[in-house]
Amino acid sequence: MDRDTSIAIIGGGIGGLTTAIALCQKGFRPTVYEAAPELRPVGAGITLAINAMRVFQKLGLAGRALEQGHPLEELRITDQQLRPVSRTALGPLIREFGVPNLGIHRGALQQLLLEALPDDGIQTGKRLDRLEGGEDEVRLYFEDETVVSADVVIAADGIHSAARQQLFPAARQRPSGQVCWRGMCPADITPWQRRGTEAWAPGQRFGIVPISEGNIYWFAVVNEKRGCDWAGLSKAGLLDAFRPFARPVAELIEQTPEGRIIYSPISDLEPLKKWHSKRVVLLGDAAHATTPNMGQGACQAIEDALALAGCLSSLPREDAFHAYQNQRKKRADRIVRQSRRLGRVAQLDSPLLGRLRNGLLGFLPSSLALRGLRELAAGSA
């Protein structure tokens, strides 16, 4: 595609910003339109798996990410007393691909992406209301009553994507039956050093990820129960719900200010038939939002970014959209399915089935887990 083609990216999340960086590196001058009035370093932590770190390596961002985050060289599943059920050492994958999994503060990640973009590449306070046209150009109407035109629109506006709702109104968001709280607190990371830990208990799960020296990111997931007002649950209520876990779990929740605990119901998107229409293409959660059980939502958005920029730089628009979808859709859809399944297995309500599952996990050779992780790490390129 011609480098003078005007490209509008809707949404300045991880997907939109990484796409802008990848396009700039190919010689395009995209503009990101972000709804938030300013891009502030908010949110808790996130893990970037090897597949995303490999894309960052290609974009020259891996060094900065490694400086800001904390490498994870083992994935550990435990019972609720934090006794190991299974351990997967990532050493062989780290040696093969040259990068580790990384725990990082979302704000730090956003900041390093912003630093890699020209200052005039992002406009904030621009919430897309609707798109019009599509034959020769697309007009973007924003809620602040401004209008811009673009030759190509990349909709990276998240799971509730306004662009997707307009183009594919039948697309269906699916609740997972689980809700989640996330937090970040200052803590001694020594006991959790270089490891991602998930403690599985009947209908509940607690994750612990060091994200920098002296900072832990945690997540707490429960199965929804009829009549429970999870959204209104206080920090004291959350502490009560996780009291049966080993003491460090309560300590991490206690050390997190109540106002900084983020509640989210978890849902995903039923796989779409198509990711593009005329001059508009979907990317990241807008195209394939997944449950967070595999820690792959942002990683897949990052893979999309590199793939789409590569296709747009070497092909005419329509062919590029097809090639991007061919390269990415099968893998992203598979991850959506696997992640949903994993969420159910990780949060079995039945204590008996949970014990059986843990027993089985203890027996599985770690080479088997490593094989699945290798496929993920290899990426779609």
Q: Where are the alpha helices (DSSP H) in the chain?
A: 14-25, 50-58, 62-68, 91-97, 106-115, 162-167, 235-241, 247-254, 285-288, 297-314, 317-346, 351-363, 366-378
Token output for 328: 């990415």
Q: Shortest approach of ligand FAD to residue 155 CB, angstroms? A: 9
Token output for 357: 């599952």
Q: Shortest approach of ligand FAD to residue 2 CB, angstroms? A: 25
- Distance, in Å, from the CA atom of 282 to the CA atom of 284, rounded to the nearest integer, reads 7
Which amino acid type is present at position 93? L
Decide if 126 contacts 33 (C-beta within 8 A): yes
Q: Shortest approach of ligand FAD to residue 184 CB, angstroms? A: 12
Nearer to ligand FAD, 99 or 363 (CB): 99
Q: Rule CB under 6 A: which residues touch ligand FAD?
A: 10-16, 33-36, 46-47, 126-128, 156-158, 162, 180, 182, 219, 264, 284-286, 292, 295-299, 301
Nearer to ligand FAD, 158 or 248 (CB): 158
Nearer to ligand FAD, 299 or 320 (CB): 299
Nearer to ligand FAD, 36 or 228 (CB): 36
Nearer to ligand FAD, 264 or 366 (CB): 264
Token output for 199: 């403690």
Tokens 């490694």 belong to residue: 66
Nearer to ligand FAD, 94 or 114 (CB): 114
- Distance, in Å, from the CA atom of 287 to the CA atom of 272, rounded to the nearest integer, reads 7
Q: Decide the pairing of beta strands 122-123 and 31-33.
A: parallel
- Distance, in Å, from the CA atom of 196 to the CA atom of 190, rounded to the nearest integer, reads 13
Q: Shortest approach of ligand FAD to residue 316 CB, angstroms? A: 25
Q: Shortest approach of ligand FAD to residue 43 CB, angstroms? A: 8
Nearer to ligand FAD, 182 or 329 (CB): 182
Q: How far is CA 169 from CA 24, 28, 39, 268, in A?
A: 31, 30, 29, 16
